[in-house]
Structure 1
Amino acid sequence: MVFKFSTIYLTEDVDVSTLFSPPTSPSSSSTACLPLGKSFTRAIAVAGRAAGGAFTAPVNRASWWRPKKSSGDINLQPLRPQGLCAEKLEEELEKVKDQLDKVLEELRSARTQKSQQVGDRFTETNRSRKELELKMIEAAEMLRTFRQERELLQIGLDNALQKAEENFKQSLKIGEGGWGSVYRGFLRHTPVAIKIMKFPSMQGLQEFQREVNVLSKLRHPNLITLIGACPEPCTLVYEYSPNGSLEDWLRNSNRAKQLPWRARIRIATELCSVLAFLHSCKPHSIVHGDVKPGNILLDRHLVSKLSDFGICRLLPWGEQSSNNNTVVYPTDPKGTFGYMDPEFLVTRELTTKFDVYSFGIILLELLTRRPTLGIAKEVRRAVSAGTLEDILDPLAGEWPYMVAKELTDLALRCCEMSRRNRPDLQSDVWTVLQSIGASVDKPRLPNTHERYR
């Protein structure tokens, strides 16, 4: 068998079909070759160009060739022997294998470490869960114990109240009104004030429930403490205030002598503090609605305690009036005439400025001890005429004129007819009272403390 072998230049396009065409006639450019076997006829591929082509000879039973650039034509150079390539390939494979082994070892180590961490967390979670279960069991047991004790205390309180009511005497009565009577008694050897309420209508029952709801949730040094309540009959048990009410001290000349001007300033400051506390309660501001000397009790140290929350109101913060930013609550007029906000009587809109007006009237009473009705007009006339000293209460001692003048101006601002012009208790009134308190000596308590009978 004779094949025609042509010289191939890589810079030219090659027609592969001509390589397999049979020779037409022998020539000087052809070369006779011996047959190389059937595999040679199966695969011959030529590709590439001078810039970067590659010559590929038959894979089976053939040598490897690569193009090599030269100054002239590109000559085909034989590659290294196949044995050297195999050794190099084995070395590369060994390196790759080592790298894979290293990666696998790192993965195994990371998996082991992760498993250990998960196991530790699982153990910690189980321990925390068991501790939490134990705490929940203890809390449930404690709650059951507290409920049992509360029931026993309630039963004991009901029995004590019932026994106290049965033994009430007229000599123990310390107050009476349309809502009921107040008696002095003892609860577990502790003196208390027991208020037995009579309800001619559902309104009285609502006032009872409102007072219990408010006083049971609030704590303030100048707020009366509610010790207990009994629904049947409707009875409230308060801490006992042995010195009665501020009204008793202002209406009684003998007692008024024992209430000097320093103590009166302190009482006004305490009243401002508790009212500011009520107005700043969240989520509902609390308006007392009936601030007057009769509802300001005095303990054995003449510390004031605000009481009687039967007609108080909780103002929702979301409701705004149309003409200002003051929270309002539409309701019917309630309270004590003379201490009621005059604008409220017209608009029926209850605001925190209602209590500000009442505070101003009480402050004028502490200064002058004059009758409530018309007191603001009388004091304004005296200030305009320059005769303020003439209307100050002489039983309080010698008032420092500048202190009395500053307190009078503050009280008259609180008594403005329009609530817009009244100061804020927390930001304005409290600041003035604190400044006055710092400028005078510490209030001295009276030498004697009469018990309220």
Structure 2
Amino acid sequence: MLYFLVTDIDECTSKSTIHKHNCSDPSTCRNKVGGFYCKCRSGYRLDTTKMSCKRKDFGWATILLGTTIGFLSILLAVSCVRQKMKHRNNSQLRQKFFVQNGGGLLVQRLSGGETSNSNIKIFTEEGMKTATNGYDQSRILGQGGQGTVYKGILPDNSIVAIKKARLGDNSQVEQFINEVLVLSQINHRNVVKLLGCCLETEVPLLIYEFINSGTLFDHLHGSFSSLSLTWEHRLRIAVEIAGTLAYLHSSASIPIIHRDVKTANILLDENLTAKVADFGASRLIPMDKEQLTTMVQGTLGYLDPEYYNTGLLNEKSDVYSFGVVLMELLSGQKALCFERPQYSKHLVSYFASAIKENRVYEVIDEKVMTEDNKMEIKEVARIAVECTRLMGEERPKMKEVAAELEGLRVTKDKHHWSDQYPEETEHLVGVEIISAQGGSSTTDYDSIKNVATLHIEAGR
């Protein structure tokens, strides 16, 4: 067997003309087994005709691609810078609105231990946008002089009412902040609960518990009027409103005058429990003062004429407004109605003339009056007229009104119970007689009135 030893010749270094490479530049020559090749550096290509390296020609596609990549890189960098600047500007703007809307003072007041309701939360602008689906039109619950109310859904799926002031109305902003400060003083089951506020927007937002059954106005005159309120409902609602106002005037940490009591500001929940709302016009009364001089504010038909003429605000102004609400509950008619005769367009005048002429039953809502409740209705009508006397000093205090109404309701419930259980009632009457003989009992009405008064002072 024959073996041949093959030896590779390095053409790049060979001096033989037979085995010499033909690369124009010797430095580009690279040896390989059985031959060689010319290697050009990056950016150059081999011209095989001359075996020399030439600079590569970049086509239009390559140039366009490079330009596009460069442009996009610059655009991305600019976008990132703008996004950062926008975020910074938004943060500064939110901070500006927060301070402008009284956020610093509000946080100080809420955290200073001066309030009875310290659970008021400060919500973010982003959270409010999400809750209202970007303030979608379908989320609007109502619109009016106080702004727009939206239905909101928080991350925990709880439903809230979000009130937004009208843009460009500085007085509304002041009222919103005032409402937060006033409601932070109140903790009462018949006052709509303020959950928090958002001050990072151009106009502040207030977030309340969601009350789903409309207003007392709706039930008496509006969209819920077909679902008529019984006399028992109306009397209980009157007691709840009166008790709440009595609490605000006498038992809150700082006395509060609502200043805009009306049926449109009384919300009703699913159980028809009254919730007094809208404290934007309310005023805190210093303990050393009985009245304040203020710019007159309120709603025509409910506005106290003495306050309107003098500008002196005191608790009797709320008593007058409540008297009008009581008349609405009794009659089912609006506080102002231009369809009534000239002398009785105002419900107070209409009622007063009916009482004076002893025809009170003519103005009572026929849906509620029966033979059994005529005397109760007449007594409530008397209270309503007393509340709306022209001179404030002649009106009763809210605490007295609440006690009288509570007394009527307790007496009514007692009579209803005695009709159902006559034997037990007879036994209890016997006990009362024995107690009276022993000198330890007061009269039945005084007893009821005292209990009602204590009930109200305790804030329920």
TM-score normalised to structure 2 length: 0.58
Distance in 2, matches of 1:204 and 1:362, equals: 25
In structure 2, the residue matched to 1:175 is 142
- Partner SS state of residue 417, structure 1: coil
Distance in 2, matches of 1:308 and 1:259, equals: 23
Structure 1 position 235 matched with structure 2 position 205: yes
For each residue in 1:148-170, what CA deviation from the matched residue of structure 2 results, as whole angstroms up to 9, or x when unmatched?
A: xx9xx856x54321212444332
Letter of the aligned partner of 2:237 in structure 1?
Answer: I
Distance in 1, matches of 2:355 and 2:334, equals: 17
Question: 1:352 offset after TM fit, Å?
Answer: 0.5
Distance in 2, matches of 1:256 and 1:342, equals: 33
- Partner SS state of residue 272, structure 2: coil
Distance in 2, matches of 1:328 and 1:254, equals: 37
Query: Larger C-alpha radius of gyration, 1 or 2?
Result: 1
Q: 1:443 to 1:425 in 2, by over 3 A?
A: farther
For each residue in 1:317-373, what CA deviation from the matched residue of structure 2 results, as whole angstroms up to 9, or x when unmatched?
A: 223xxxxxxx11001110101111100111110000000000000000000012313
In structure 2, the residue matched to 1:410 is 383
Letter of the aligned partner of 2:255 in structure 1?
Answer: S
For each residue in 1:52-83, what CA deviation from the matched residue of structure 2 results, as whole angstroms up to 9, or x when unmatched?
A: xxxxxxxxxxxxxxxxxxxxxxxxxxxxxxxx
- Partner SS state of residue 267, structure 2: strand
In structure 2, the residue matched to 1:401 is 374
Letter of the aligned partner of 1:219 in structure 2?
Answer: N
Compare 196-205 and 372-381 and name the one that shifted more.
196-205
In structure 1, the residue matched to 2:447 is none
1:21-100 equivalent positions in 2, closer than 5 A = none
The equivalent position to 2:349 in structure 1, one of 371, 377, 384, is 377
Compare 202-211 and 254-263 and name the one that shifted more.
254-263
Question: 1:424 offset after TM fit, Å?
Answer: 0.9
Letter of the aligned partner of 1:261 in structure 2?
Answer: W
The equivalent position to 2:360 in structure 1, one of 388, 395, 407, is 388
- Partner SS state of residue 276, structure 1: helix
The equivalent position to 1:310 in structure 2, one of 271, 275, 280, is 280
Q: Which sections of structure 1, spanning at least 5 residues, go unmatched?
A: 1-142, 144-149, 320-326, 445-453
Distance in 1, matches of 2:403 and 2:361, equals: 24
The equivalent position to 2:305 in structure 1, one of 337, 342, 352, is 342
Compare 254-263 and 355-364 and name the one that shifted more.
254-263
- Partner SS state of residue 290, structure 1: coil
Question: 1:388 offset after TM fit, Å?
Answer: 1.7
Structure 1 position 432 matched with structure 2 position 399: no
Q: Is the 1:256–1:396 contact (alpha carbons within 8 Å) kept by the matching residues of 2?
A: no
The equivalent position to 1:161 in structure 2, one of 128, 147, 150, is 128
1:4-15 equivalent positions in 2, closer than 5 A = none
Structure 1 position 285 matched with structure 2 position 255: yes
In structure 2, the residue matched to 1:87 is none
TM-score normalised to structure 1 length: 0.59
Question: 1:384 offset after TM fit, Å?
Answer: 2.6
Tell me the matched-pair count: 285
For each residue in 1:156-192, what CA deviation from the matched residue of structure 2 results, as whole angstroms up to 9, or x when unmatched?
A: x543212124443323211102332101121221111
Q: Which sections of structure 2, spanning at least 5 residues, go unmatched?
A: 1-110, 112-117, 337-345, 417-460
Q: Is the 2:221–2:333 contact (alpha carbons within 8 Å) kept by the matching residues of 1?
A: no
Q: 1:413 to 1:387 in 2, by over 3 A?
A: same
Q: Is the 2:220–2:333 contact (alpha carbons within 8 Å) kept by the matching residues of 1?
A: no
The equivalent position to 1:420 in structure 2, one of 373, 389, 393, is 393
Letter of the aligned partner of 1:212 in structure 2?
Answer: V
- Partner SS state of residue 303, structure 2: coil
Percent identical: 35
Compare 249-258 and 171-180 and name the one that shifted more.
249-258
Q: 1:315 to 1:382 in 2, by over 3 A?
A: same
Q: C-alpha root-mean-square deviation of aligned residues, in Å? A: 2.4
Question: 1:209 offset after TM fit, Å?
Answer: 1.0
Letter of the aligned partner of 2:209 in structure 1?
Answer: E
In structure 2, the residue matched to 1:184 is 151
Q: 1:215 to 1:356 in 2, by over 3 A?
A: same
Q: 1:317 to 1:268 in 2, by over 3 A?
A: same
In structure 1, the residue matched to 2:422 is none
The equivalent position to 2:269 in structure 1, one of 278, 299, 312, is 299
Letter of the aligned partner of 2:188 in structure 1?
Answer: H
- Partner SS state of residue 195, structure 2: strand
Q: Is the 2:296–2:308 contact (alpha carbons within 8 Å) kept by the matching residues of 1?
A: yes
Letter of the aligned partner of 1:162 in structure 2?
Answer: K
In structure 2, the residue matched to 1:265 is 235
Q: 1:167 to 1:205 in 2, by over 3 A?
A: closer
Compare 361-370 and 176-185 and name the one that shifted more.
176-185
In structure 2, the residue matched to 1:329 is 292
Q: Is the 2:219–2:225 contact (alpha carbons within 8 Å) kept by the matching residues of 1?
A: yes
Compare 432-441 and 347-356 and name the one that shifted more.
432-441
Q: 1:240 to 1:328 in 2, by over 3 A?
A: same
Letter of the aligned partner of 1:356 in structure 2?
Answer: V
Q: Is the 1:283–1:316 contact (alpha carbons within 8 Å) kept by the matching residues of 2?
A: no
Question: 1:433 offset after TM fit, Å?
Answer: 0.8
Letter of the aligned partner of 2:265 in structure 1?
Answer: N
Q: 1:252 to 1:202 in 2, by over 3 A?
A: closer
Distance in 2, matches of 1:420 and 1:254, equals: 37
For each residue in 1:257-306, what CA deviation from the matched residue of structure 2 results, as whole angstroms up to 9, or x when unmatched?
A: 43101100000000011101111246631100000011100111111111
